[in-house]
Structure 1
Amino acid sequence: MSDPALEDRPTWPAMRRGAMRKCPACGKGAMFEGYLKVRDHCPSCGEALHYQRADDGPAYLTILLVSHLGAPLLLWVFLTYQPSPISMLIGFSAGAIVLCLALLPLIKGAMVGAQWARRMHGFGTEQAEATSA
């Protein structure tokens, strides 16, 4: 007696597709219009993506990951090579900026994929309404 409109959506494949910047439903259409703007609908399958509510979550996770990767590396470089403070400041600042810019779309895509798979914030309501009408 399961509703076909509410069939199980595997979370990990949807998150993987989202991290690849693809639609979590079909894995073919581009999820983002630009750097971080999520499209309203998938250009390939037409899946509604405007329900996503990633908000500040991807930014917090990105900062958490970059800082947890950077802090031990900073300590190791300082103790091993003893570079000048200005060279460490420049090097680690540039590295942190590049790593944040690289990880942010991946984490946001994965978060939108997880929301789609778990039917959060309205994902899946249009199918349930179509089958009940």
Structure 2
Amino acid sequence: MTVTIETGSGTRTGLSRAMARGFVGRCPHCGQGRIFGRFLKVQPDCGVCGLELSHHRADDLPPYIVIFIIGHIVGYFLLETEMNYDVPLWFQLTFWPLVTLLGSLALLQPVKGAVVGLQYALGMHGFAKLPVSTTGDIEETQHGPDHGHAAGGASA
């Protein structure tokens, strides 16, 4: 289920779609522009729709999520290998750290993109005002129907 929030220039992308777009490195609003200019450096704005991306505050959440995921996956397979097979210690001491390092590097950018998408979808930090200010539309939506009913009631 995707929930959309109405704004002046269209709709704000829902939570799951914004996070999925961020996970693949695309703009959470339009899905076409790129989020990252370098490996983990978020671009100041989207080159396609102009969404300002400099407001994000991913900080330490992406590494914590990556550690949680990779730790569970590698830990499970490490224990399964140790319990069911007679693998030499030198192999375990070289293979599992390598898998951990490569898995962490592979997941870090997508998870950071998903966190930026999460912040955009929830309107956190500077994303509350983006892509446009919603104050005018909320007032029109709230006062428009009430105004119409009041005018209809007064003329009847």
Of 85, 88, 91, the match for 2:92: 88
The structure number with the bigger radius of gyration is 2
Residue ranges of structure 1 left out of the alignment (5+ in a row) = none
Q: How many residues end up aligned between the 2 structures?
A: 131
Q: State the structure with bigger RCO (CA 8 A, min sep 6), 1 or 2.
A: 1
Indicate whether 1:71 and 2:75 are aligned.
yes
In the TM superposition, residue 86 of structure 1 has moved relative to its aligned partner by 1.5
Structure-1 separation of matches of 2:38 and 2:115:
17
What SS is found at the alignment partner of 1:109?
Answer: helix
Q: TM-score, normalised by structure 2?
A: 0.77
Indicate whether 1:4 and 2:7 are aligned.
yes
Structure-2 change in CA distance of 1:93 and 1:50 (3 Å): same
Equivalent residues of 1:9, 1:118 under 8 A apart:
no
Indicate whether 1:29 and 2:45 are aligned.
no
Residue ranges of structure 2 left out of the alignment (5+ in a row) = 138-156
Q: Output the aligned Cα RMSD.
A: 2.1
What SS is found at the alignment partner of 1:75?
Answer: helix
Of 96, 106, 121, the match for 1:102: 106
Q: TM-score, normalised by structure 1?
A: 0.90
